[in-house]
Structures are given as structure tokens and as C-alpha cells.
Amino acid sequence: MNIKELDKKYVLPTYARADVEFVSGDNARLVDADGKKYIDFTSGIGVVSVGHANKRLNTAICSQIENITHTSNLYHSAAQVNAAQKLVDASAFDMQCFFGNSGAEANEGAIKIARKFGEINGEVKKYKIITLRHSFHGRTITTVKATGQDIMHNYFGPFPDGFVYADAIQDIESLIDDHTCAVMIELVQGEGGVQPQDKKEVQVLAKLLKSRGVLLIVDEVQTGAYRTGKFLASQVYEIEPDIVTLAKGIGGGVPVGVVMTSLKDVLSAGDHGSTFGGNFLSSIAVCEVMDILKEYEDSSKLQETTSYFNEAVAKVYASFPSMFTQKVGIGMMCGLRVKDAETLNSILSKAKENGVMLLKAGKNTLRFLPPLTITKGEIDEGFNSLNNALSSL
């Protein structure tokens, strides 16, 4: 049997897979099982932040697993403490960390912190959490319900109560009541179409919530790890949330999720836990990724690459006005609005044929999430391939 037949026989059909199998990579380059080469503008949906097969990350991981991979969270771990310190220092917030394995787990942890905070503070139990329409917060039962897209709620109910959806940032105030404990937002909606929130509206919201005693949770699963130009999009927006969630790019490909919070005394021993979260393998990966990206930012390479990449996206937008209606996004999380879904699907297919991998976001957005370490040569090659693909449509 070939890989497609084996996949069909043994793996649940929860993904609409593209007809390609990648076997190796190098920074922003991928090679499939047939030897065809590609430029990767997806980085594993924003995960491979320091590129495929990064030698520094590989060396750090290999050195760690030669000694010890896992014990459990019943014991101290220097690797986990070091990872937490690097994350907190990069945020410049006075916070502590909890380590899990994914963005959904991080958001589950944030919800638990907010719910306990709402129960132990005040005479009335506060449990409601306001999120936004078109948001995406994960695929567990609770984070599916936190996600403000109705299509995500089919089949899997009944769901946990207490989630309320606002159509936009400016609508949140009217939905706050005596039972509201938190508001959870993405500063740039990823799955919702690479849609940035208005900076002033977010700052007004943050100030309002602080005055009302309502927590602000910022889901930075996709925007974190320097994706928007700084370590956190919260820093770009100049706000200080009560809780931040991270995953994807902070592990460079190793599964890891993190809750960072200034609410250091809400959870106590036994309230939350994870068997694998923050083990030696994932923690050492976070440490090395953070070091690499911090050096990349300090050297101004990140800013230079971000500008160069966005200029290339802008040129595509200007060159094909009949296909694209708007350029969106921040930093290395950007997209092009496509005139219709059918055209978007054709672009994705033709781009793959021409050796460049791209993503879909929402119904009509062509999404770019390249490795942050992508080179100018890789950018040029990828956009040459994309231009050839678009010209052929």
C-alpha cells in the first residue's frame, strides 16, 4: 500500500490533506517523497518559527535526550525554570508560567484560572467569559465553545455554559454583567482571517476591564513568539493582560503550550496539572528557540526580514488586483483577501504545483506564516513561484 492508502486505512479522516508527503526540510525549504522542492510559507501553521531542521535546536534537543527526557512535574526541573524565566523576561510582565502541550491546553488553563478567580473574589460567582465572533481558541470541548464560530459547535454538545460572543471589540462592554469573570481575545485573529484588532479599541477595552475587575485573557497561540514583530502582540498593542496563552512557535516544532499570568495566587497544588507539560524535551526546545529568536530580534534581522517579506506580499497584491481585495495582518502574520473562496482554493492548488506552500484562513484569506528565520533568497524564490502560479490562473 502507498502512503495515501495506509493513511485512509489507519488514520481517522479529520484532515483534508493535500496530496503531498514531506520527508525533509532546511529552514524555509521542504522536500517531498518524490524529491520535489518547495518554499514553505506556512511553517507548520506558525510552528516552525526557527525553520526546519534548525541545527542549534536539533543539537539542544539531542543533547538533552541523551541525558533525560521526562520524569514528571512532581520534581524540580532546571530546564522548565529556565524556559519560564526566558518567557517572562521577554514579556517584561510580572508573571508566572504553567506548561502544557498545546494551544488548546493553554487556553483551557487560562479559563480555569479565570473561573477560579471569579469564584473566590466577590459575593457573586463569576463564571462568564466573553469572546469574539470569528475567534478560534482550540478543539477541546471547552475551547470549541469558547470559539465564536457557530460552525465549530455542530455535533459536540452539550457544552460548558458561560461563554458569550461579541461581534466586535466595541460590543464587549454591553455584554459585561455581574457574572462576567473574563474577556478572551486574539489581537490578530488567525483562523478568523488574519484580522488585526484596532489598537485604540483594544487599549480602551483593557482599561475598562481593569476598572470593572474583569480579567483580560489574550490568546497569543499564533501571534506570540515574535510573529508580529515583538515577543507578544500584547507588546505591539501596548497593553498588559492578566493572562497570556502561548504555543506553536515557542517550541519550534516540539509540542508545548504555556499559560502566563500575573495571578500568581489563584491556582494551588492539585488545581491543575499535566503529565507531559514542561518536561525536559519541550523545555529545552523553548529555551533554545527563545535564545535564537531573541538574537534575531536584537540584531535587527527580524525587522529587516519582516519588512522585506511584507514588501513582497504588497507587490503581489498590487500585481493582481482582479484576485485580491485587501492586504491584512501584522509582522510575519499576514494575508491577502481573495475575491471568492473558489479563487482561493485554485491559488492554493496552483501554488503547490509551482513549489510554494501557503495556507487558507477564514473563507477567503490567503495566509502567510513563514519561518521567522526565512532568508531573502528563500523569500524571492517563493514569491517568484507564487507569481508564476497566479499568472497561470
DSSP characters over 340-354: -HHHHHHHHHHHHHT
Q: Are residues 258 and 354 in the same domain?
A: no
Instruction: Report the domain count for the chain.
Output: 2
Parent domain of 348? 3-53+300-391
User: Domain for residue 46, yes or no?
Assistant: yes
Tell me the sheet residues that pair with 128: 180
User: Domain for residue 63, yes or no?
Assistant: no
Which pLDDT score is estimated for 123?
86
- CA 203 – CA 197 distance, rounded (Å): 10
Distances (CA, A) of 265 to 96, 116, 117, 269, 324: 10, 11, 9, 11, 49
User: Domain for residue 197, yes or no?
Assistant: yes
Mean pLDDT by 10 residues, the chain (393 residues): 93 94 98 97 98 98 97 97 98 98 98 97 93 96 95 92 97 97 97 94 98 98 97 98 98 98 97 97 98 97 98 97 96 96 96 97 95 98 98 93
Q: Are residues 212 and 89 in the same domain?
A: yes
Q: Are residues 312 and 273 in the same domain?
A: no
Q: Are residues 261 and 335 in the same domain?
A: no
Which pLDDT score is estimated for 328?
97
Single residue among 278, 298, 318 that ends a domain in this structure: 298
- CA 90 – CA 250 distance, rounded (Å): 12
User: Domain for residue 163, yes or no?
Assistant: yes
User: Domain for residue 59, yes or no?
Assistant: no
CATH for 348: 3.90.1150.10
Q: Are residues 202 and 169 in the same domain?
A: yes
